[in-house]
Structure 1
Amino acid sequence: MRKHRTSSLRLFSVCRSFLVGGLASLSPILIVHAQPTPTISAAIGEGSSAKPGALSEKQTERANGLIDKALKSDLAYEILESLTTEIGPRLAGSEGEARAREWGVRTFKSLGFKNSRIETFELPYWSRVKETASISAPFPQALAITALGNSVATPEGGLEGEVVRFASLADLKDAPLSGLEGKIVFVDEPMTRTMDGSGYGPAVAKRSGAANEAGRRGAIAALIRSVGTDSRRMPHTGSMRYQQGIVRVPTAALSNPDADQLARAIKLASAMEAGPVRVAMNIQVMTRESTVSGNVVAEIPGKTDEIIVIGGHLDSWDLGTGAVDDGAGIAITAAAAKLIHDLPGRPRRTIRIIMWGAEEVGLYGARAYAAQHKDELHRHVMASESDFGAGNIWQVQSRVGPEDIAAFKTIVRPIARLGASWRGNNANGGPDVTPLRTAGVPVFSLR
């Protein structure tokens, strides 16, 4: 069993590892558009006899060598195993996340990276204490729910009310502002499964949307179908935000099978004229105005003061060990950086590896990093976060200057052997590099 798990993560996840590693190994030609330095196009073949717009023989050989090494390496799995086993869940601002930061510093040092440190920041704290729900009438049975991050609590002892189902968030928004007083809103909108994850954005809108629209209409609580496409009784949590001036109502996600069950109960109760379906909910939470989180940062010093950023987010939700979201990203980028570290000589540009804190609850670590490093953002020439799970990489997206698109497509040619290709110049780079991208730093994304 261990051999199978190791092989799966190595052969699939590490494909992403190489792409990050391959691009980072070509750091002399990764250059930010509109900076007072040569363009990527001009840098291709720099210091070699390569034709303009082509990789040199040495660059291609080095990229292929990194791919070969990564395919044989168990390092990404070992890092992930260590994080998820020794630390476990890492809710933002929690004791678990604090231990994870110390783990991160130790891990970076053990890999030989320099300047390993924790850069702290503050944020509000939220955690769940209790969450239960059940159909109380006319078909009594338990429901599997989880409170959404930042949800307010129910009254002590819980609440109960008639459930009103809406097939989509749009349907709820179209509903009259009266008629839902004292009731529980149920938004039963499914997520569409897509290869590139594009179904997530539309589906996640109902987390905050259901809460705010329910509060606007006088409802006492909101339930949503989990944002996910699995068929297990494991409800998916995630962060939500209340709008200013709206009554805040407790909000939770039902697992997909439980959402199906509740929808069937509502339909059957109506057909049988058995009366409205009523649900009892009890959600208790703990909050603090301020707590401490932090980003763990380390570097492979380069020959210049320009910086390439790669990383993942260290925090996770508290319902699991965060292996996929985003332990995989932490492991992949650290292992990729290790490949660069072990090459002879120093990279032209500094490779900065970041374990961002408090991503899940609102990109607090991302904003803190951009603020704390604002005076050196002009030296950031490329950034990417691995926060899309683990698996075969099939596409690469860039966001560079128009004159550099052709060169970027050239850069990614070596990973065509892995089944990946360039798919456009509209990359977001990953959630935690959003402030960097907004500041004009070029980014790339792997899918």
Structure 2
Amino acid sequence: MKWTLISLTALALSNTVTAEDQAGPASIEEAADRALEADTLAWDFVEGITTEVGPRQAGTEAEKRARLWTRAWLAEHGFFNVADEPFEMETWVPGDIAKARVTAPFAQDLAVLPLGNSAATPIGGIEAELVEFESFDELLAVPDGSLTGKIVYLSHDMRVSMDGSHYGQFGLARFAGPTVAANKDAAAIVIKSVGTDYHRNPHTGTTRWGDSATPIPAGAISLPDAANLERMFDRKGDRPITLRLEMNPRNLGTTLSGNVVGEIVGRNPDLPPVLLACHIDSWWNAPGAFDDGAGCGIIAAAASHVAASGQPLRTIRVLFAGAEEVGLIGSTAYSEAHIDEPIGVGIESDFGADRIWRFESNFRETNPDLHQRIANSVARFGVANSTIEASGGADLNIVRDQGGAIIDLQQDGTRYFDLHHTPDDTLDKVDPAQLQQNVAVWTQVVGILANEERSIQTGGMIPTAPATMEN
């Protein structure tokens, strides 16, 4: 992309409208319908960041380039108050060696990647007996100290689900399995990747050591390799299976990450803004088109379409959070920095790019009229109403911390965990038509919220701040 002062100024002015230009609900509906047929902004964002930046692991130079790129994109497309809000983090990188080989009794290589925050093996690797656990609970049940000198293999039974609900249950193999193995005195752990594809691509992702464990080498093997390994256990008889594992991740110490923010400025600055969130970082092994380049494109496009239909009543703020993959560090930093700034409602897009099929809020009981109005407005896009209470995406910590209003626009996750944290998370997996449906639904919902005068959480009048007392 090329940016000039003239083009930036012209684009900014094109999005500055007066109260007389304010669009009513019909204009929002028309903007959403047009987005369904012809939106190009979301594609422009995800195509641009995956092509011109690529993989962008938190705390690295690549993530810094992603933040610079995003700031320029937002400025070019008429957002105001664009900024990079830096924060410090401890940064782990994967290294350039990741090898796993069954050495007996059925010698062969396995495709493996380190898990985030894994320790390194000694140079040349470690070789030890491999002990199989079919579930997290089975590993949890063995006595402390019972795995001294052994390598754990941890499996699970994750399946495809439209709402991604299996991830929360079977993701324990990755989130907590390495910590449990370390506390049982294992020398290392390899897990069956937390995913649903059968390509020979391991799924990486972070693991949480906490204060209870000293990190050990922790890797994930691909699902086909996991299935092969489990067949080996079924037929090994009395023979032990031995594995040689070599990985060289390392910690860089303290580096900078950051959150990128921008705004479509509303007519009434006293009304709490609508916060649209995504995350800008990805893992090192893919350009992060599904996770979460598309999500960032969706929120930016929706904000732009609402602005193009007339200056909204409330400010729309976009948050491109940094360092989400490695532990929601950006989301936490944003909440700490802005906790005293009330948010009217928060929404996040971080579940790929396939169509939205369900609408949820956490104010269905406290503001039923608004909930139903939004539900009715998106039904024409194939989005169903729901009684499930929205809990919000990972980068909405500030809204949860404030006890505020949250909406979840649930995407079809059938394909998501085929791609999640793998080298297959590439631009060609994004379906432009489904991406446009996302933008259309978001435009409709954000347009309603950004022009809502009353409290979104309760439907009541927003109280006026008390006068300042002077001594």
TM-score band, normalised by the shorter chain?
0.7 to 0.9
Matched, 1:438 2:401: yes
Q: Which of the numbers 251, 272, 296 marks the counterpart of 2:218?
A: 251
Q: Which of the numbers 237, 246, 250 marks the counterpart of 1:282?
A: 246
Q: Which of the numbers 356, 362, 366 marks the counterpart of 2:321?
A: 356
SS at match of 1:400: coil
Write the distance in 1 (CA, Å) between the matches of 2:371 and 2:175.
37
User: Deviation of residue 385 (structure 1)?
Assistant: 1.0
Write the distance in 1 (CA, Å) between the matches of 2:395 and 2:367.
24
Write the distance in 2 (CA, Å) between the matches of 1:243 and 1:123.
16
Q: Map 1:372-383 onto structure 2 (within 5 A).
A: 372-376=337-341, 378=342, 380-383=343-346
Q: Map 1:308-387 onto structure 2 (within 5 A).
A: 308-344=274-310, 346-376=311-341, 378=342, 380-387=343-350
Write the distance in 1 (CA, Å) between the matches of 2:187 and 2:38.
55
Write the distance in 1 (CA, Å) between the matches of 2:384 and 2:173.
33
Matched, 1:423 2:386: yes
SS at match of 1:431: coil
1:63 matched to which residue of 2? 29
Q: Map 1:118-197 onto structure 2 (within 5 A).
A: 118-129=84-95, 130-197=97-164
SS at match of 1:403: coil
SS at match of 1:412: helix
SS at match of 1:102: helix
Write the distance in 2 (CA, Å) between the matches of 1:446 and 1:215.
38
Contact (CA 8 Å) 1:193, 1:229: kept in 2 or not?
A: yes
Larger deviation, residues 395-404 vs 159-168: 395-404
1:31 matched to which residue of 2? none
Write the distance in 1 (CA, Å) between the matches of 2:357 and 2:364.
23
Q: Cα deviation per residue 1:365-414 (whole Å; 9 max; x = unaligned)?
A: 111111111221x2x10111100111111101101272203421212312
Write the distance in 1 (CA, Å) between the matches of 2:368 and 2:325.
32
SS at match of 1:446: strand
Contact (CA 8 Å) 2:45, 2:297: kept in 1 or not?
A: yes
Write the distance in 1 (CA, Å) between the matches of 2:275 and 2:175.
31
Letter matched to residue 258 of structure 1: D
Write the distance in 2 (CA, Å) between the matches of 1:326 and 1:164.
35
Letter matched to residue 125 of structure 1: T
2:267 matched to which residue of 1? 303
Write the distance in 2 (CA, Å) between the matches of 1:121 and 1:256.
36
1:35 matched to which residue of 2? none
Runs of 4+ deviating beyond 6 Å: none
Write the distance in 1 (CA, Å) between the matches of 2:277 and 2:215.
35
Contact (CA 8 Å) 1:311, 1:334: kept in 2 or not?
A: no
Write the distance in 2 (CA, Å) between the matches of 1:440 and 1:401.
15
Q: Percent same amino acid among aligned pairs?
A: 38
Q: Cα deviation per residue 1:91-134 (whole Å; 9 max; x = unaligned)?
A: 00011100000001100011111111111001000001121111
SS at match of 1:260: helix
1:404 matched to which residue of 2? 367
Write the distance in 2 (CA, Å) between the matches of 1:351 and 1:329.
16
SS at match of 1:375: coil
Letter matched to residue 335 of structure 2: A
Q: Cα deviation per residue 1:226-258 (whole Å; 9 max; x = unaligned)?
A: 111111111001111113242321111111001
SS at match of 1:309: strand
1:390 matched to which residue of 2? 353
2:417 matched to which residue of 1? none
Q: Which of the numbers 269, 279, 283 marks the counterpart of 2:236?
A: 269
2:448 matched to which residue of 1? none
Q: Which of the numbers 214, 218, 221 marks the counterpart of 2:181?
A: 214
SS at match of 1:287: strand
Matched, 1:117 2:83: yes
Contact (CA 8 Å) 2:201, 2:222: kept in 1 or not?
A: yes
SS at match of 2:224: helix
User: Deviation of residue 359 (structure 1)?
Assistant: 0.4
Write the distance in 1 (CA, Å) between the matches of 2:91 and 2:259.
16
Write the distance in 2 (CA, Å) between the matches of 1:120 and 1:100.
13
SS at match of 1:340: helix
SS at match of 2:334: helix
Write the distance in 1 (CA, Å) between the matches of 2:152 and 2:52.
40
Write the distance in 2 (CA, Å) between the matches of 1:398 and 1:62.
20
Contact (CA 8 Å) 1:60, 1:414: kept in 2 or not?
A: no
Write the distance in 1 (CA, Å) between the matches of 2:166 and 2:30.
34
Matched, 1:81 2:47: yes
SS at match of 1:135: strand
SS at match of 2:209: coil
Letter matched to residue 349 of structure 2: S
Letter matched to residue 236 of structure 2: A
Gap regions ≥5 residues in structure 1: 1-56
Write the distance in 2 (CA, Å) between the matches of 1:101 and 1:65.
28
User: Deviation of residue 64 (structure 1)?
Assistant: 4.1
Larger deviation, residues 425-434 vs 171-180: 171-180
Write the distance in 2 (CA, Å) between the matches of 1:424 and 1:193.
23
With the length of structure 2 as denominator, give the TM-score of the two structures: 0.79
Write the distance in 2 (CA, Å) between the matches of 1:171 and 1:208.
16
User: Deviation of residue 178 (structure 1)?
Assistant: 4.3
Letter matched to residue 80 of structure 1: V
Contact (CA 8 Å) 1:428, 1:434: kept in 2 or not?
A: no
Q: Which of the numbers 181, 199, 202 marks the counterpart of 1:235?
A: 202
Write the distance in 1 (CA, Å) between the matches of 2:397 and 2:83.
22
Larger deviation, residues 412-421 vs 293-302: 412-421
Letter matched to residue 198 of structure 1: S
Write the distance in 2 (CA, Å) between the matches of 1:364 and 1:403.
31
Letter matched to residue 208 of structure 1: F
Write the distance in 2 (CA, Å) between the matches of 1:268 and 1:76.
51
User: Deviation of residue 435 (structure 1)?
Assistant: 3.3
